Chains A and B, each alone.
Chain A
Amino acid sequence: MAVVFEKTKGLTDKPFHYCPGCHHGIIHRIIAESMVEMGILEDTVSVASVGCTYNSYEYFACDAVQAAHGRAPAVATGIKRTLKDKIVFTYQGDGDLASIGTAEIIHAAARGEKITAFFVNNAVYGMTSGQMAPTTLLGQVTTTSPFGRDASYQGYPINVSELISQLTGAAYVERVCLTDFKNIQNAKKAVQNAFKVQQAGLGFSMVEFLSTCPTNWGKEPIEAMDWLKEKMIPQYPLGCFKGQDIDFKNLGQSDAEVKS
């Protein structure tokens, strides 16, 4: 028998500190697997942000820089402008990217910054214990919307992928989820597409992952996945919002290779 699945070398040996059933671990793994499979692990710099994944650099086996809350796209800009031939990605949650870091993500995308943002949307602040996020659904109960998010009082959720895809500088934007084998395979493909877009210098790329937060949602992991499918996907539909026409098969190869 041959090993057909084991933990990727793109991750360190350090066990994740994430709660049971949290999807961060799956997202970390498919990013790490993609770096290894695409041969870019040694040429990548990741940017960790603030939230549950503040120390993602302890898990990804690539070089890393830790950024202040919301500032990861600006930090990534500084790195990428300095290291033009390297791959640079940010890993940010919904509080980080869609609240305090809105200016940074919008302008990095608008500049067509050749970086990739991995955006984890679980509709809640995880690390600080379940406060309302910009992506919290209407009616969703959180520790700071204890009566359910009320549009007349707390406004509406932000659909980040749709927003970013309006910007010319954004070359590739896709929203995925991780609720089963097929969706995870799709998500991994999106990760690789995003890296390919960066390699080819097409512009800014982003993958939004709908993710569960069983702990702060107060749900069992399986129940949380069902809630994600039933409640989150209607608000945040899956799919590619930008870059549908890109020929990913031939992307990332030099022109000479494509011609031959």
Chain B
Amino acid sequence: MAKVTFSDDLCKGCGLCVHACPKKILELDKSRLNNKGYHPAVCIDPASCIGCTFCAVQCPDSVIVVER
């Protein structure tokens, strides 16, 4: 069991986490903009998260918390 949490308003929508996720369960939410004006990253299939931290380690802005 694992969980990723994004500090939504600090995300710059660069997509490096999406690229890094081995389970391909992250994507940029094109339906909305955060306070910075970016499409923030979201987890679309939380149940499949394995808590590998690949996304968080790749994130240039340290916006991801990983629990396992």
Say yes or no for A181: interface residue by CB 8 A criterion. yes
Say yes or no for A2: interface residue by CB 8 A criterion. yes
Chain A residues positioned under 8 Å from B61 (CB to CB): 15-16, 18, 25
Instruction: Determine, out of A5-13, A128-136, A139-147, A251-259, the stretch whose residues face the partner at the interface.
Output: A5-13
Closest Cβ–Cβ distance, residue B16 to chain A (whole Å): 6
Q: Kindly report which residue of chain B lies nearest to residue A29, judged by CB atoms.
A: B62
Chain B residues positioned under 8 Å from A218 (CB to CB): none
Chain A residues positioned under 8 Å from B12 (CB to CB): 19-21
Closest Cβ–Cβ distance, residue A109 to chain B (whole Å): 28
Contact B10 A15 (CB under 8 A): yes
CA A38 to CA B22, docked complex, whole Å: 30
Q: Kindly report which residue of chain A lies nearest to residue B1, judged by CB atoms.
A: A1
Contact A221 B58 (CB under 8 A): no
Contact B68 A221 (CB under 8 A): no
Contact B60 A24 (CB under 8 A): yes
Q: Say yes or no: A181-B54 contact (C-beta < 8 A), given A18-B60, A221-B15, A222-B19.
A: yes
B19, B20, B51, B60, most chain A CB atoms within 10 A: B60
Chain B residues positioned under 8 Å from A25 (CB to CB): 59-62
Say yes or no for B57: interface residue by CB 8 A criterion. yes
Contact A221 B3 (CB under 8 A): no
Closest Cβ–Cβ distance, residue A103 to chain B (whole Å): 31
Chain A residues positioned under 8 Å from B53 (CB to CB): 4-5, 181
Per the CB 8 Å criterion, the residue count for chain A at the interface is 31
CA A5 to CA B57, docked complex, whole Å: 8
Q: Kindly report which residue of chain A lies nearest to residue B64, judged by CB atoms.
A: A5
CA A1 to CA B11, docked complex, whole Å: 24
Residues on B facing A (Cβ under 8 Å)? 1-3, 10, 12-16, 19-20, 38, 51-54, 56-68
Q: Which 5 A-B pairs have the closest CB atoms?
A: A25-B60, A21-B14, A20-B12, A7-B62, A20-B14
Contact B67 A184 (CB under 8 A): no
Chain B residues positioned under 8 Å from A184 (CB to CB): 57-58
> Can you list 13 pairs linking A and B with CB atoms under 8 Å apart?
A1-B67, A2-B68, A5-B56, A11-B62, A21-B12, A21-B14, A21-B15, A25-B59, A26-B59, A29-B62, A180-B58, A214-B14, A225-B19
Per-residue B-contact encoding for A143-167, CB less than 8 Å = 1, 0 else: 0000000000000000000000000
CA A189 to CA B43, docked complex, whole Å: 29
Inter-chain pairs besides A5-B57, A16-B60, 9 sampled, C-beta below 8 Å? A4-B67, A5-B64, A19-B12, A20-B14, A26-B57, A180-B20, A181-B58, A220-B15, A221-B14
Chain B residues positioned under 8 Å from A21 (CB to CB): 12, 14-16, 60
Chain A residues positioned under 8 Å from B68 (CB to CB): 1-2, 4
Say yes or no for A22: interface residue by CB 8 A criterion. yes
CA A16 to CA B60, docked complex, whole Å: 9
Contact B38 A20 (CB under 8 A): yes
Chain B residues positioned under 8 Å from A1 (CB to CB): 1-3, 67-68
